[in-house]
Every structure is written in structure tokens, then in C-alpha cells.
Amino acid sequence: MRTIRYQSIADDLRSRVAKGEFASGGVLPSESALSSQYDASRVTIRRALEALRAEGLVESRQGFGWLVAGEPLRQDLSRLATIEGQLASAGLRSERRIVSFGFVNAPDRVRDILSERTVLQVRRVNLADGEPFARVTVWCPEALGASLSRDDVERSSFLEQLDVDLGGATQTIGADSVSGDDATLLGVPVGSPVLVAERITRNAAGRPILVSEHVFPAHRTRFTVELPVDDGLLNPTGLRLVE
């Protein structure tokens, strides 16, 4: 029996996913790119993808196009933790790649928070099982960062290396669309949705010692927090309207 064209394309895509060419949660080539790869019409490509969606193998999301179906990682906000720790808890292999490392003039907001004019700025990409999971930029006061090398921050977190007693952190999370540079680093389409988390980490005396920005493709992570009832009051805490 002759195989229908869209079925043969679906079979090949299924095989490519099984071989790990496209990881769980990974973005597939666009319909246009697949049309060129398989020398097939967009209609045929769409039928092949719809067949794989019916199997639960792929899904489509606004802003991303088609991607391999996968459960997003749930990050616990009830305690201060590293991305590496969250990934390890989920059974995922963690890796970090340094994009840039150096002392710079502090951006205005960082200067206001840290009260420092010169800071160590480290920009990196965190990977989960070899796939981009987050772009992270960390700013650290010059005096604290002077003892750190590029190899140090590629090996492990600031939280594990700074010789200070930690007092906690404040994390603010919002939604945005990804810029061109971050889209390239994260392997997602320009303008696709991302979650942006700003974290201000303090020492035991309450002084801010780190500012970090974490950018996550929106389909790859969820943030979770327990909400206990306090004295019978059900008003949400930590909710702020964006002006």
C-alpha cells in the first residue's frame, strides 16, 4: 500500500524526535523551513504536524510555532535556590555556558540597588539536558566579585561561592516578549513570550549583594508557591499592578 506523503513526513519527524534531534520542549523548524526540507507544500506539512499532535508528540503555541510536547519545569518559590538545584530536583542534567564576563559600569537600576558604580557582570545561558533553559545576567559589587574568575562562575552559582552569610532574596516575575539577542541564545522565535524574573539577594545584614535577571522561554517553566491562609485573610500578598 502506498504511503501518503504527509504520513511519510510525519514518520520521519517522529524518528527525528526519537533520535533526540529535537528535545522535549524544543522548538521545531517553522512550517516554511520544513516545507523546504521535505520539498512539500505547507498544507502537507501542516497535515503531518497535525497527525503528530493527535499522538501527543508535538504541540503548537502562540509565538513559538510547533514544538515537541513536554511538561514545563515547576520552580518552587518558597525558598532561595539555584537553577541548577531546581533542574537537579527534576532529574534534568544542568549545564551553564558563560556568554560574557567582566567589570562594567553598573546599569542605573543596578547602581541604585547595590549602591555601586562598578560591578562584575556575568551573562550566561543555563541548559537543561543540553537545551537552552534560561538566560541569566548577574551583577555583583566589585569588591565581592574581585576574587571570582570566569571558570569559577561557569562551574557553580554565585550563591555557592561568595563568602557571605545570606539573608534571603526578593524575586519579581513578569511577562515579556523576547529580544533578538535572547531569542538566539534561547533558540526561540523573536517576539515569543518569556518570563522575566528579577532577583535581589541580600546578606544577613539586609544589604543587597547581588542583582540578577533570569529570562525563561514561557513554555519551559512554571513558578509555584504555597499560599497558606493567614489569620483567615484571603487577600493575596506580593501582588503589584504594573503602571
What CATH number should be reported for the domain holding residue 154?
3.40.1410.10
The alpha-carbon radius of gyration of the chain (Å, integer) is: 21
Query: Model pTM?
Result: 0.79
User: Do residue 39 and residue 104 come from a single domain?
Assistant: no
Q: Give the count of domains, the chain.
A: 2
Question: In the chain, at which residue ranges do the beta strands (DSSP E only) sit?
Answer: 58-61, 65-68, 73-76, 94-105, 118-128, 131-141, 166-177, 193-203, 208-217, 221-224
CATH number of the domain residue 49 falls in? 1.10.10.10
Confidence of residue 1 (pLDDT cuts 50, 70, 90): very low
Q: Which residue has the higher pLDDT, 29 or 113?
A: 113
78 domain-assigned: yes
* 175 pLDDT higher than 70: yes
84 and 170 within one domain: yes
Which residues span the domain enclosing 40?
5-68
Among 68, 92, 121, the domain-final residue is 68
What does the alpha-carbon distance between residue 95 and residue 125 come to, in Å, rounded to a whole number? Answer: 8
Q: Which of 79, 74, 76 is nearest to 169 (CA)?
A: 79
Instruction: Indicate the average pLDDT of the chain.
Output: 88
* Same-domain status, 85 and 134: yes
pLDDT in tens, 29-56: 889 999 999 999 999 999 999 999 888 8
- 238 lies in a domain? no
Q: What string of DSSP letters covers 5-16?
A: HHHHHHHHHHHH
Same domain, 140 and 213: yes
